Amino acid sequence: MSHPMLSTVLAGPAAETTRLLAYWVLAIISVAAALGMVLARKAVHCAMLLAVVMLSLAALYLMLGAPFLAFARRHRPGPARLGEVRQCERDRAG
């Protein structure tokens, strides 16, 4: 039978590496989706990329230990998102 502290110490560096890798992957996805949202020509694509940005930011908030912010970021009212899509559409037209 191994000592519980020994398993914690052995899992420490691997867990930290996994956490950093997940952070950077989510950060890159967030930035890429945000840039895609700005450059999208169709409102539907803009809305889908907005959803990707929201979900990846919610995951980042969860990783930072802020579940309320993650929940609030993910569960905004529908009309607020629709307003953002319409704004994106207006920016594209004009």
Task: Note the pLDDT of residue 66.
Answer: 77
Domain positions in the chain: 4-93
Task: Note the pLDDT of residue 7.
Answer: 46
Q: Is the pTM of this model over 0.75?
A: no
Contact indicator for 47, 62 with CB cutoff of 8 Å:
no
Instruction: For residue 88, name the pLDDT band (cuts at 50, 70, 90).
Output: low
DSSP type of residue 64: T
CA distance 1 to 90: 65
**CA distances for 91 relative to 29, 52, 64, angstroms:** 23, 20, 33
Task: Note the pLDDT of residue 24.
Answer: 93
More confident residue, 14 or 58: 58
Contact indicator for 61, 70 with CB cutoff of 8 Å:
yes
Asked whether the predicted pLDDT for residue 4 surpasses 60, the reply is: no
> Tens digit of pLDDT for each residue in 28-78?
999 999 999 989 888 888 888 988 988 888 888 888 887 776 677 655 555
Task: Note the pLDDT of residue 63.
Answer: 85
